[in-house]
Amino acid sequence: MEKTIKPNKLFVASCLALLVTSLSFGIRAGTMNNLMVQFHLDAKQMGLIAGTAFWGFPLAIIIGGMIVDVVGMKRLLLLAFILHLIGIIFTVFSTGFFSLYISTLFIGVANGLVEAACNPLVTSIYPENKTTKLNHFHFWFPAGIVIGTLVSFGFANIGWGWELQVATMLIPTVIYGYLFFRLDFPVTERVSSGVSTKEMYKAILKPLYIFLFICMLGTAITELFTNQWVGVLLQNVTKSAILVLALVSAVQALARSVAGPVVHRVSPSGLLLMSAIISTIGIYLLGTLTGGAIFIGAIIFGIGVAYF
């Protein structure tokens, strides 16, 4: 039976999958203090739990990227849906360190599979407008963090527990799983372009690729690690520490929503250099300012990491 590819519906489903990824990030940042208190966890144990989301994430991206052409983008995304579902439910019913560790790992791996499959999916369905559509797709990462942190902040203020905050992620999870299950998928851009697997693996040995790979570790750490610990690290600096993360993410989302004109006027290397400099200034300000002034540092940091 001939496939009927529906780019817009695939894109919406991809954005919802990324929304779940970012919600997990934002809500986890907002609930870390509560988890530490309820389960009597110290900072090291909480760091190990949060860290599983970060090493599970790139591990899934690497493995998923290697097998995506073999197993197909649809199977990877359905696996991500199953792991998201299990991880969220396990988190809600966690009883201590071990269950939180495993459930967070499941969510981290699911997040990585979403990135491994959705990035090539977006480039496959929009081959003539890849850069702009990828930025529109990645708009939902900071946007989801804003939503997640506001959900966490709002629920906490009305006395609703962290379990309900985590459970809200089930809504977009079920929707994206349903959509991906029903939709047909194209082949990846590599396959449609006729580039062989051998040629692809030869390309990753080029010096420029290796250099960019190493630099990307730095950009990821700059954005993700800083944001994840904002709520804990700044709780003694401002009463609304989690809103610092919301502001950083809101600035990122705004910048990515207007990415089209920016990425066409500034060279990629120039944009990355500017981003690194501005991010450095932003981190310095976050580490030195206090009170309401901390939000100035958040705005500058958000501008810096927006285009990484």
Q: Provide the residue ranges of all domains of the chain, joining segments of one domain with +.
A: 7-203, 208-308
Among 71-75, 169-173, 241-245, the minimum mean pLDDT is found in 241-245
- Where residue 232 falls among pLDDT bands split at 50, 70, 90? low
Q: What percent of the chain has pLDDT over 90?
A: 36
- Over the stretch 240-294, which tens digit does the pLDDT of each residue have? 777 888 888 889 888 888 877 777 788 888 889 999 999 999 999 988 888 888 8
pLDDT for 127 equals 85
pLDDT for 1 equals 54
Average pLDDT over residues 216-230: 81
pLDDT for 238 equals 67
Average pLDDT of the chain to the nearest whole number: 87
pLDDT for 284 equals 92
Question: What CATH class is the domain 7-203?
Answer: mainly alpha
3-state secondary structure string, the chain? CCCCCCHHHHHHHHHHHHHHHHHHHHHHHHHHHHHHHHCCCCHHHHHHHHHHHHHHHHHHHHHHHHHHHHHCHHHHHHHHHHHHHHHHHHHHCCCCHHHHHHHHHHHHHHHHHHHHHHHHHHHHHCCCCHHHHHHHHHCHHHHHHHHHHHHHHHHHHCCCCHHHHHHCCHHHHHHHHHHHHHCCCCCCHHHHHCCCHHHHHHHCCCHHHHHHHHHHHHHHHHHHHHHHCHHHHCCCCCCCHHHHHHHHHHHHHHHHHCHHHHHHHCCHHHHHHHHHHHHHHHHHHHHHCCHHHHHHHHHHHHHHHCCC
